[in-house]
Amino acid sequence: MCGIVGIVGREAVAQRLYDGLKRLEYRGYDSAGICTVQGGEFERRRAEGKLDNLARQLAAEALHGDVGIAHTRWATHGAPTVDNAHPHIAGPVALVHNGIIENFKPLRDELIADGRKFLSETDSEVVAHLVAREVENGKSPTEAVATVLPRLHGAFAIAFLFKDHPDQIIGARMGAPLTVGYGEGENYLGSDALALAPLTQKIAYLEEGDWAVVKRDSIQIYDRANKPVNREIVESGALATRIEKGNYRHFMQKEIFEQPIVVAQTLQSYVRPFEGKVALPDFDFDLSTVNRVTIVACGTSFYAGMVAKYWFEQFARVPVDIDVASEFRYRQPVLEPGGLALFISQSGETADTLAALRHAREEGQTIAVVVNVPTSSMAREADLLLPTHAGPEIGVASTKAFTCQLSVLAALAANLARAKGRLTEDEEREIVEHLREAPEAMNQALNHDEDIAGMAHLVAPARDVLYLGRGPDYPMALEGALKLKEISYIHAEGYAAGEMKHGPIALIDDLVPVIVLAPSGPLFEKTVSNMQEVRARGGKIILISDAKGLAEAGEGCVATIEMPEVHPLIAPLVYAVPVQLLAYHVAVAKGTDVDQPRNLAKSVTVE
């Protein structure tokens, strides 16, 4: 993953590079570093851990120079130590790298045999040495980079700095995003438009295989065949202001509480309340021709897709295949030409999902994308762009992006159902009404915040936690478990309630809290039977249901959380709230780093 910024500036760059890294911290926070070139020498500061550590170093020992590169790291090759922190320097070359050089081992062996000394365990340092060797053998920076790039396998975005050519940075991309920015008398390079937003709104996205020579007064882009090319310069529209926590203790908490507003905001683009109709953005595609939908995503976005599978099949009677993106293209899925493939992502940059999207396009699929970052690669590569309007999501644990994804997917299910002739006008009007009720129902769920905080002590000491649900509450159980494990580090699993007896029931004893998501309805009795099976083995149940469900099955639970009674279509949006709050309060009780949990990054741009 990792984030990259580079500035060929008119004045000191260290502070601005640091600010750029702050905006890229969502891509990783294992270590960070900045390197400038000044008077024919590199100056470098690097620090382990969060960016604040680098800030302290910069305060203690200022970094000079008006040309520099910077990096925030998510460790792949080598532990998160200072030695492994970027920028890496090899003789006359410094670099920062995002991605993985898959053939680094033979390249490293070759360079060691050539007498070169390595100072880190990273794959990235190999590239610095390869380019340094070319420069030391008399090649210009551009010649050296052009020689080395074809030797690299894998996915990368790289920025190079040259000791003896202090007026330029060279950037290159293959499989990881990189953007160049145009300023007044200075130019930039960054992992995304957001990193560059305070510096410039005029940007160009490099395409696969592109590399660019960035100087103060020019940016020359080359394609993978080393031919000079022009890439369109666009207004990025990325927000230049810093997102603040306001009165909340954590971004995640703020984002959980923002949900009613952002869900309402998102739904505004997908329903026409006065006409009682669901609507999609304008695009030239006839949904009635869709006979199968392939959904692909990762993590929380994948669980949103799993919920959508229930809806698409139930309302539109259209069969759905769903895959986690990292499996999709490698299992060689059978895709009928002309099919619809739907990709779901908060960031729009997740490497696995992006690779799956490109694979689906090669297989002749129409590409629909539900995405939160409008400037992202996926947004740009979509045929049918279905934006969520959650606003920037900072907490690594996805919350508001998830419920906004669900809102869009519910509207898409209704659109598909209408296009397939499965929805009468009255039924559509009814769905629109229910969707409009969602923000208020989520508000009611949020009112249980204090009660849920009071339940944290039931879960915080546990080693294992199970989440159970049926129907669309099964993916919600998976999502609840993911939320808990990623921010509280407690082992948690989500199961289809009826599947528990086929194995996981062996885990149940009086130390295992079992969180059951069960709105009253046709599946409720079945889930209650599964609860009895848990109870009979001493399991401690926290039941999340509506008043009817709690009246029927609440007795004997260690705690209950009452949700408003809602239509099944919006239940997942509402039931997301208590599982998010529970995970949040358990993490706070355990004292973990809620917004930046260990080992994770907000945007996962490596495969």
- The residue among 94 and 396 lying less far from ligand M6R, judged by its C-beta, is 396
Based on the shown chain and the rule CB under 6 A, indicate whether residue 346 belongs to the binding site for ligand M6R: yes
Burial of 522 (0-12, 13-18, 19+ CB in 10 A): exposed
Question: Interface with ligand M6R includes 353 (CB under 6 A)?
Answer: yes
- Given the residues 2, 298, 404, 557, the one annotated as active site: 2
Nearer to ligand M6R, 290 or 298 (CB): 298
- Give the x/- contact pattern for ligand M6R in 218-257, rule: CB under 6 A: ----------------------------------------
Residue 486 interacting with ligand M6R (CB under 6 A) = yes
286 CB-near residues (< 8 Å, 6+ apart): 419
**2 among known catalytic residues:** yes
Asked if omega into 141 is within 30° of 0 (cis), the reply is: no
Task: Tell whether residue 301 is a contact of ligand M6R (CB under 6 A).
Answer: yes
345 near ligand M6R, judged by CB under 6 A: yes
* Burial (0-12, 13-18, 19+ Cβ within 10 Å), 198: middle
Alpha helices in 74-188 (DSSP H): 104-113, 124-136, 141-148
Q: Does 520 bind ligand M6R (CB under 6 A)?
A: no
Strands (E), 436-581: 464-469, 491-496, 513-517, 540-546, 559-563
Query: Shortest gap between Cβ of 491 and ligand M6R (angstroms)?
Result: 16
What minimum distance in Å lies between the beta carbon of 472 and ligand M6R? 18
400-419 vs 571-590: helix crossing angle, rounded to 10: 160
Kindly determine how many residues on this chain lie close enough to bind ligand M6R according to the rule CB under 6 A.
16
**Closer CB to ligand M6R, residue 318 or residue 373?**
373
Residue showing the smallest CB distance to ligand M6R in the complex: 299
Amino acid at 445: A
Continuous H helices in 141-295: 141-148, 193-196, 251-257, 259-268
| CB atoms inside a 10 Å sphere around CB 366 | 18
Between residue 113 and residue 142, which ones bind ligand M6R under the rule CB under 6 A?
Answer: none
CA distances from 371 to 290, 389, 486, 537, 596 (A): 21, 9, 22, 43, 22
Q: Which 8-state DSSP code applies to residue 376?
A: S
Binding of ligand M6R at residue 376 (CB under 6 A)? no
* Packing angle of the helix pair 259-268, 425-446 (nearest 10 deg): 160
Closest listed residue to residue 374, CA positions, set 359, 386, 356: 386
**Shortest Cβ 346–ligand M6R spacing (Å):** 4
Shortest Å, Cβ 471 to ligand M6R: 22
Site string for ligand M6R, 377-416 (x = CB under 6 A): -------------------xxx------------------
Closer residue to ligand M6R, CB minimum distance, 379 or 396: 396
Residue 533 parent element (H or E): helix 524-535
* Distance separating alpha carbons of residues 156 and 171, to the nearest angstrom: 10
CB of 325 to ligand M6R, least distance (A): 8
Give least dist CB 398 to ligand M6R, A: 4
Residue type, 75: A
Q: Which stretch in 93-101, 297-305, 450-458, 510-518 sits in contact with ligand M6R by CB under 6 A? A: 297-305
Asked if 347 is part of the footprint of ligand M6R (rule: CB under 6 A), the reply reads yes
Distance CA 299, CA 483 (A): 10
Of 35, 34, 607, the residue nearest 325 (C-alpha)? 607
Instruction: Build a one-symbol-per-residue string for 545-584: x at contacts with ligand M6R by CB under 6 A, - elsewhere.
Output: ----------------------------------------
Nearer to ligand M6R, 191 or 527 (CB): 191
C-beta of 187: minimal distance to ligand M6R in Å?
A: 28
Q: Tell me, yes or no, if 526 is annotated catalytic.
A: no
Give catalytic residue positions: 2, 602
Q: Give the binding site for ligand M6R (CB under 6 A).
A: 298-301, 345-347, 350, 353, 396-398, 482, 486, 603-604
